[in-house]
Every structure is written in C-alpha cells, then in structure tokens.
Amino acid sequence: MKKILLIVSGGIAAYRSLDLIREIKRRGDDVTCVLTKSATQFVQPLSFGALSQNKVYTDLFDLESETNIGHIKLSRNADLVVLAPATANILAKMSYGISDSLATSILLANNKPLLIAPSMNVKMWNNPSTKNNIEKLKKYGHIFVGPDEGEMACGEVGSGKMSKVEDIYKEIEFLLKPGPLKGKKALVTSGPTIEPIDPVRFISNKSSGKQGHAIAERLSKLGADTHLITGPVNIPYPDNVRVTEVNTAEEMLNACKNSIPADIAIFAAAVSDWKPTKNFQNKIKKSFNDGDLNLSFSQNPDILRTISETNINRPKLIVGFTLETENLMESARKKMLDKSCDWMIANNHIQKNKSVFNSDMNEVSFLNDVSDESWGLISKKNVAENLCIKIIEFFDNAA
C-alpha cells in the first residue's frame, strides 16, 4: 500500500478531487488530504475526511500538528504528493517559493515526487506569467498532467479543465510503480538541425520534434533515465526528462557522444545531411556577385552510423528513423544495414496528401534484421507506445 498526500487548492474543480480520493482508495492505497483555506470554500473538509478515512489538514498554525513540525512530516510520510486541482495562484507561489499556508509550506519543503493537475480559466492558463511559472516548475522536475480542453465553469471554452480522474491516476501509477525500463538509460534525438549560411540565414527542414518528444516522454514514464537531445522546436519538453538543446548536426553528434554509455539510443531527429562549406561571418548582400549566389555544401557527420559503429560503449539497442518519398521499405532496409543499427522505423513522407512534418499522425513500418511490419497510419504517441513495447520485449528476452 502506497501513501499519497493530496493537496487541494481553491478552484471550482476541488469537488472532483473527491472522485480522485475514491479512485485511490479503490486501488488499495492510502490518501491524506491538505486543503488550502480557499479550497474549504468549495468543499467541506468533512467530505475529504469521510472519503479518505484520515485526518484532514487545513491550518499551518494547528498547534497539535506543528508541535511535531507537521508541514515537514506530512510529505516525509508520503510516497507521492499530488496537487489537484492546482490553481494559477498556487502555481505562482510555488514558482517563487512562497510558503504562506500549510499547503505551500509542504510544497516548499517537499522531498517526494510531485504530480500537478492544473485547473483554471483558459485566459489564466494562456497568460505568459502562468506559462513562465509552469516552465520553471517543470525545470525543477515536477510532473504535470493536463489540463484538458473543454467548456469551463465560467462558460468559456479552451484549455484549463482539470484532467479526468482516470488520467490523473494513470500518472500516479507511473510515478509509484517501478516501470519495466527502470534502471535503463536512454537517449533520444528529436527535431531538426539547422546549418548556418551567414548570421541570419540557414538551411534546415520542417521537423516539429513531435515524434522524438513523444518517444522520450514514453520512455521516461516507463522508468528509463531519459536524455532528450533536440534541435530548435516550438513544442513543450516532456516532463522528467533531461534536455540538451542543439542547433547543428555536429553539436547533436557531440551531445550524443557525451550521453553514452546508454542502454537505448533512438535517433528520431531529422538531421540535415549537408552544411554550407563556408559560413559567412557577415550577412550576404544582394550585390555579393551581381548575379546568382552559388553555395557549396559538404556532408554532415552521420550521427546514427557513428554511434552504431562505435567500439566503445555502444548502446545495447539502437533505433534509426528514416523518411522517404519513394521505395520506402527497400530504402529503409538498406539504410538499416548501411548504418549498422538494430532497428529502423520507416516513415512515409506523405500521408493523406499531407506531409508527415508537423502532423500529429505518422504512417510507419517497423524493421529489424529478420522481418518488417506495418503499423499503418497512427498518432505519433501511438508510434512511441508501439516502439516502447518492442523495447521492453527486447530487454525481457535478453535477460
């Protein structure tokens, strides 16, 4: 039986935390509740006590509790702390280390994993101050679930609804139970690389990073110590994942070398194959040569091949990604052999007349040294799930 400390802040979604308590108890775990003063205006502490069958805490200056330094012991006695709902107010206080209540004091003194389920008006969620606070809290290592999209209690529509109870509990399970990849170290490359021509121009591609980021997120949730090495992207980084930002292919290769030894290496980045031979120090003017501008290019290092063929600390499992516009399977199998990787994921460049770049969907096939199988047109998150199932099976069979 695991012990969960549930902190409830003062949003309209506070009543939904009662259903979360029911789910935690149904799964056989213990839950103790801490309510902020404003949370008690939405739901009475008596309801939380009746469902949790434990004392409910609300006041930092509870003489009986604080004689034993209760705001410290409450988190020390827990296996996991859950903040649901998390209002914009309490997220801001956490971001700046404010401890003006029992709840914020516990959060500041906490030394256990923290799962946060935000709930607020869509304008509050999209406010730059809130975004900055969340980014800071993620860098501190806190895990977020949601929010979902939908109609708010105020009648507005958008992101800000607290996640469904089943989704929150799924994250609780990930954090409480040792994942099947616990003890494994993984590196994942993602996004594009960019190769400078001059201080303001570069060559690159349209990769969004959605596939690589989804894989890194899934590996982390399954217990792997995950390092994401990514080119410039405009999507959030996964929670609980170490991130290294790079620009060029050479920077990405150096980051990969620094990340091994590793058990798993997945190369989902769309690395530029070429780079300008000359990087101009100043902006190229239109009058550069009074005519067309001719640039010469040289090949970038092949990151997948370099790591696959290393003789020192080669990862036990190396997975490459390839995107083709023709002869998909033939080209993918040839690349898998030429680059000495263990598996290859082959992407169709076009699916339903749309480029796979920046899409949430992907049409892929999985190849290893003995067979190949089509996964069809599925979400990039499902690609990540299918790949991780294969990875778990690989290590189970190798054990």
Catalytic residues: 154
- The distance of Cα 341 from the centroid of its chain, to the nearest Å, equals 25
Query: For the residues of 342-394, what is the DSSP string, one character each?
Result: SEEEEEESEETTEESTT-SEEEEEEE-SS-EEEEEEEEHHHHHHHHHHHHHHH
- Rounded to whole angstroms, the Cα distance separating 301 from 306 reads 8
Contact by Cβ (8 Å): 315, 398: no
Say which amino acid occupies 254: N
Q: Is 220 helix (H, G, I), strand (E, B) or coil?
A: helix
* Cis geometry, peptide bond prior to residue 85 (ω within 30 degrees of 0): yes
Q: Are strands 361-367 and 354-355 parallel, antiparallel or unpaired?
A: unpaired
Say which amino acid occupies 175: L
Written as six digits, the tokens of 30 are 């213990």
Of 243, 222, 214, give the one whose Cα is nearest residue 321: 214
Contact by Cβ (8 Å): 284, 198: yes
- Rounded to whole angstroms, the Cα distance separating 197 from 279 reads 5
Contact by Cβ (8 Å): 228, 250: no
Contact by Cβ (8 Å): 189, 172: no
Written as six digits, the tokens of 149 are 């999209």
Cα distances from 11 to residues 71, 96, 147, 163, 335, in angstroms, run: 22, 20, 13, 13, 53
